[in-house]
Amino acid sequence: MENLVAGFAEALQWTNLIACAIGVLVGTLVGVLPGLGPVATMAILLPFTFTMSPTAGIIMMAGVYYGAMYGGSTTSILFRTPGEAASILTSIDGYELAKKGRAGAALAISTIGSFVAGTIGVVGLMLFAPALARVAVAFGPGELLLVAFAALLLLANILGGSASRNLLIALVGVALGTVGLDSFSGASRYTFGFSPLLGGFDLVAAIMGLYGISELISIARNPHGAKRVASVRLRDLYPSKDEMKRSTGPILRGGVIGFGVGLTPGPAAVLAPLVSYFVERRLSKTPERFGKGAIEGVASAESANNSACSGALVPLLALGIPMTPAAAVLMSGFMIHGVAPGPLLMEKHALLFWGVVASMYIGNALLLVLNLPLVGVFARAMMTPFPILVPGIFVLCMVGAYSINNSIFDVTVMVLFGLLGDWMRRRGLDPMPLVLGMVLGPIVEASLRQSLILGSGSIGWFFGSNLRAVLFVLSIFLVLYSVVKDIRKPAKPAAGPAADEKTGLHA
């Protein structure tokens, strides 16, 4: 406790406070812009921290990291353009709300949710970091394989519509994920001599295409279908009492779920909002509203993705292992100041550690104060007429997709996935399983091959540890469950748009 007080004293020093403010401000801005994520921004800011004190430098970079999570929901809600995988679900319910004139409410709830969950995340980080870090690394190849595999099956089952059709779309995503250089053998697969394909399809570019670009095409086809309710009255900009009440539970639960899921290496940023969203749909008395503009959907997904971002910091701070690209950049911020993150951080650099933790409380509060007034501004941006909106969104997406790898190939990928997304949308297919396949596929493949090598190809290896054995039995059960369920259910031809499909709860 006295540590934390000392930390606050450190974080409240002028230079550190200013570093924190700059960090969260820049973070919010780049979070708003699709494609341009915290990774590139932290890298750009990195040289500026060379001349700062270690504490100020790390406070600033951490500020960019969690600040970006606040901004991330904005374009998803207003224009159905998620800037990263974590915001896909926000874009579904948030955009529906926005079309009904509740953009302000959705934005405000996602800001408040981010604040609460961000704070839950920091508390979790502060209290349990060392213990939880051990859980995170206990997830070896075998455990990861079973979790990713089970997640794929589970999601195909709960996404609504036919499980086998969802699974088939997911498999297409997995297949798309195998394109490029195989990191195990150095072989290039499905590139057919075309070298830009060696790196595979970038996930963020694909998501921006599937959701954002396909929406633009759909607006061009039928502008009247995308008409929005014009409402800029001040009291409509903020959530009503009822909306606040309905969001409280999802935000709190989402914060806890997100933090827990955030510890697992790899797909946490995508899985955390999904798990939280489906838990809420399960708990809800009116699950049919999910997917058609339920404020609980926005609240649960946004809060989970924010606390997952704190969860991902646990292995970095407690063990010095960066499990996400953003954590890797943050780690170089530590390294250039000669501070190695890890078990010794709290002992050797106690003031720095607690200063950074305290700054995260301060930064989250700053973000709340900064973002709530912005809600009004952003909600009005929603009313931009189509002749300006359509080129504007495309241009932002284009520059954003380019800046992922500074590559025009990623922009091409984005546009092509936009066409694919439009085609799927016209056929009433949900692109979500495709994205999940692309996220989970490479993890399943890599961990499967690692497991086979480590276990010398024997199934018995999966029973070598308790965690693996439990997960193994669980995934076998899931396979049987989904097969039996799909056979028993009478085949019914699916019709209607994707939005209607997603709301059906088949569990």
Close Cβ partners of 442 (under 8 Å, ≥ 6 residues apart): 177, 178
Residue 64 in the binding site for another protein (CB under 8 A)? no
430 near another protein, rule: CB under 8 A: no
Among 123, 196, 346, 500, binds another protein (CB under 8 A): 196
- How far apart CA 318 and CA 125 sit, in angstroms, is 9
Which two structure tokens, joined as six digits, stand for 365? 């509060």
Q: Which is nearer to another protein, 64 or 362 (CB)?
A: 64
The number of angstroms, rounded, from the C-alpha of 275 to the middle of its chain's C-alpha atoms is: 12
Footprint on residues 237-266 left by another protein (CB under 8 A) = 265
Query: Of 369, 453, 473, 484, which one interacts with another protein (CB under 8 A)?
Result: 453
Under the criterion CB under 8 A, does residue 36 sit at the interface with another protein? yes
The 3-class secondary structure across 335-364, one letter per residue, is HCCCCCCCCCHHHHCHHHHHHHHHHHHHHH
Supply the minimum distance, in Å, between the C-beta of residue 440 and another protein.
Answer: 12
CB of 403 to another protein, least distance (A): 5
Smallest separation, CB 235 to another protein (Å): 31
CB of 392 to another protein, least distance (A): 6
Positions 88 through 117 that interact with another protein (CB under 8 A): none
Work out which of 3, 13, 53, 188 binds another protein, going by CB under 8 A: 188
477 is a site residue for another protein (CB under 8 A): no
Write down the least CB distance from residue 455 to another protein, Å.
8
Scanning residues 166 to 185, which ones bind another protein (CB under 8 A)?
167-168, 171-172, 174-175, 178, 180-185
Nearest Cα residue to 282 out of 270, 294, 265: 294
Nearest distance from residue 485's CB to another protein, in Å?
A: 13
Does 381 engage in binding with another protein (CB under 8 A)?
Answer: no
Buried b (16+ CB within 10 A) or exposed e, 173-192: bbebbebbbeeeeeebeebe
From 53, 405, 474, 481, residue interacting with another protein (rule: CB under 8 A): 405
Of 412, 463, 469, 481, the residue at the interface with another protein (CB under 8 A) is: 412
Contact 105, 238 (CB under 8 A): yes
Query: What is the phi-psi region of residue 61: left when phi exceeds 0, alpha when psi lies from -120 to 50, beta otherwise?
Result: alpha
Taking the CA atoms of residue 175, residue 403, residue 405 and residue 438 in that order, the dihedral angle to the nearest 10 degrees is -20
What whole-number distance in Å separates Cα of residue 263 and Cα of residue 198?
Answer: 30
Distance of CA 291 to the CA centre of its chain: 18
499 binds another protein (CB under 8 A): no
Regarding 480 and contact with another protein (CB under 8 A), the answer is no
Residue 234 or 491: which CB sits closer to another protein?
Answer: 491
Q: Which of residues 323-342 bind another protein (CB under 8 A)?
A: 323, 325, 328-332, 335-338, 340-342
Q: What is 239-300 written as a DSSP string?
A: --HHHHHHHHHHHHHHHHHHHHHHTSSSTHHHHHHHHHHHHHHHH-S-GGGTTS--HHHHHH
Please report whether residue 41 would count as binding another protein according to CB under 8 A. Answer: yes
Residue 399 interacting with another protein (CB under 8 A):
yes
DSSP-based three-state secondary structure for 5: helix
Choose one: 107-115, 246-254, 303-311, 317-325; the region binding another protein (CB under 8 A): 317-325
Site size with another protein, rule: CB under 8 A? 122
